[in-house]
């Protein structure tokens, strides 16, 4: 059951704060401010400043959702720390925002919120259960069933990029060998490209252009990434059996060129087993703020 109700979402990013009034997954109005650095009080004030004009325009909005980088303490409404915003250790963001806005505020991890938006209103809106996978610099995922988000016992479910795929594979940033992220994410593809082309400036964009031009070396790097993303999805299929997968993050700008390769690998490694549908994310950069607004409607969404 989707609830049709106007709410306000705040998407807290490392450089900008985006606030929006959202109804049934549609943005009605937005407001954007720069993210104050180093000063939590200035940050709370800026989020309130971004929200207030919208709440004045839409006095029927009662609920506010906040999407934040994590790790978070959802029970206590705190940001444990934010990798790209300084001095936010153990920040009681829900209490502070409720005091400033006089509304009920619901906190959610920004990636989970974006995936929840795709689940409810975007590419996955016809599926009862879905997995939202972002392939960007790193790789992450969100798991959804009905109106629920699987948070996990420590709030760390969905860390698909940290699965070990090759016990003797490349060493990842987390000091583990052969994680999905260390093999297949954007930074991993760049590492392969720079090494094999002897070019320390090559980026993922150039790599994809070379692959589209038919260069064998570039194609092999991209095929390898897509193969392991497909294996990771096939493994998730076996244990979680979702109705569909949504692929988002930076890679989605490569469209079918990447997705078709993921699909081929997924189908190969899932052969003989039930399979899920696979779609590209539909809400683009709006997913974060739509998701933030959406979690406000589902305070008991966590599993």
Q: Which chain residues interact with a copy of itself by CB under 8 A? A: 127-129, 141, 143, 145-146, 148, 150-160, 162-164, 166-167, 174-176, 227, 231, 234-236, 238-243, 269, 271-274, 276, 303
In this structure, what is the dihedral angle of CA atoms 174, 285, 69, 302, given to the nearest 10 degrees? -100
Q: Which residues contact 135 (CB under 8 A, 6 or more apart)?
A: 184, 185, 186, 225, 229, 247, 248, 249, 250, 251, 252, 258
Residue matched to tokens 């790193």: 138
Query: Minimum Å distance from CB 209 to a copy of itself?
Result: 28
Query: Minimum Å distance from CB 81 to a copy of itself?
Result: 15
Pick between residue 240 and residue 257 the one whose CB is nearest to a copy of itself: 240
Query: Minimum Å distance from CB 174 to a copy of itself?
Result: 6
Query: Minimum Å distance from CB 220 to a copy of itself?
Result: 15
Pick between residue 79 and residue 163 the one whose CB is nearest to a copy of itself: 163
Pick between residue 198 and residue 271 the one whose CB is nearest to a copy of itself: 271
Query: Minimum Å distance from CB 156 to a copy of itself?
Result: 5
Q: Which three-class secondary structure state does DSSP give residue 150?
A: coil
Query: Minimum Å distance from CB 278 to a copy of itself?
Result: 13
Pick between residue 59 and residue 274 the one whose CB is nearest to a copy of itself: 274
Pick between residue 11 and residue 181 the one whose CB is nearest to a copy of itself: 181
Contacts of residues 16-20 at CB distance under 8 Å and 24 or more positions apart, as own/partner, are 17/46, 17/47, 17/50, 18/50, 18/288, 18/289, 19/47, 19/50, 19/51, 19/54, 19/289, 20/54, 20/286, 20/289, 20/290, 20/293
C-alpha pair distances (Å), 152 with each of 26, 179, 301: 29, 20, 12
Pick between residue 59 and residue 272 the one whose CB is nearest to a copy of itself: 272
Pick between residue 37 and residue 164 the one whose CB is nearest to a copy of itself: 164
Alpha helices (runs of H) in 137-273, residue ranges in sequence order: 180-184, 186-197, 204-212, 216-240, 255-269
In this structure, what is the dihedral angle of CA atoms 87, 88, 92, 93, given to the nearest 10 degrees? 120
Contact 24, 37 (CB under 8 A): no
Query: Minimum Å distance from CB 294 to a copy of itself?
Result: 20
């Amino acid at each position: 059951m989707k609830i049709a109700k106007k709410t306000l979402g705040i998407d807290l990013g490392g450089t900008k704060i985006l606030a929006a009034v959202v109804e049934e997954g549609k943005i009605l109005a937005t407001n954007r401010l720069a993210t104050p650095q180093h000063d939590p009080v200035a940050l709370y004030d800026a989020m309130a400043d971004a929200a207030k004009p919208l709440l004045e325009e839409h006095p029927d909005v009662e609920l506010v959702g906040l999407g934040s980088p994590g790790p978070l303490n959802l029970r206590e409404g705190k940001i444990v720390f934010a990798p790209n915003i300084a001095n936010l250790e153990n920040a009681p963001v829900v209490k502070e925002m409720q005091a400033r806005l006089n509304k009920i505020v619901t906190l959610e991890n920004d990636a989970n919120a974006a995936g929840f938006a795709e689940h409810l209103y975007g590419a996955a809106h016809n599926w009862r259960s879905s997995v939202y996978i972002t392939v960007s610099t790193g790789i992450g995922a969100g798991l959804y069933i009905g109106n629920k988000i699987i948070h996990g016992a420590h709030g760390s479910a969905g860390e698909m990029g940290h699965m070990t795929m090759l016990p003797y594979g490349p060493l990842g940033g987390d000091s583990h060998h052969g994680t999905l992220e260390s093999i297949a994410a954007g930074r991993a593809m760049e590492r392969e490209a720079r090494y094999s082309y002897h070019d320390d400036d090559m980026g993922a964009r150039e790599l994809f252009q070379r692959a589209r031009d038919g260069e064998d070396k570039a194609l092999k790097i991209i095929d390898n990434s897509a193969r392991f993303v497909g294996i990771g999805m096939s493994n998730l299929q076996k244990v979680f059996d979702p109705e569909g997968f949504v692929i988002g993050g930076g890679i989605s700008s490569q469209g079918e060129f990447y997705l078709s390769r993921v699909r081929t690998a997924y189908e190969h490694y899932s052969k003989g087993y039930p399979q899920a549908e696979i779609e590209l994310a539909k809400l683009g950069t709006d997913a974060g703020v739509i998701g933030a607004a959406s979690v406000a409607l589902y305070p008991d969404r966590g599993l």
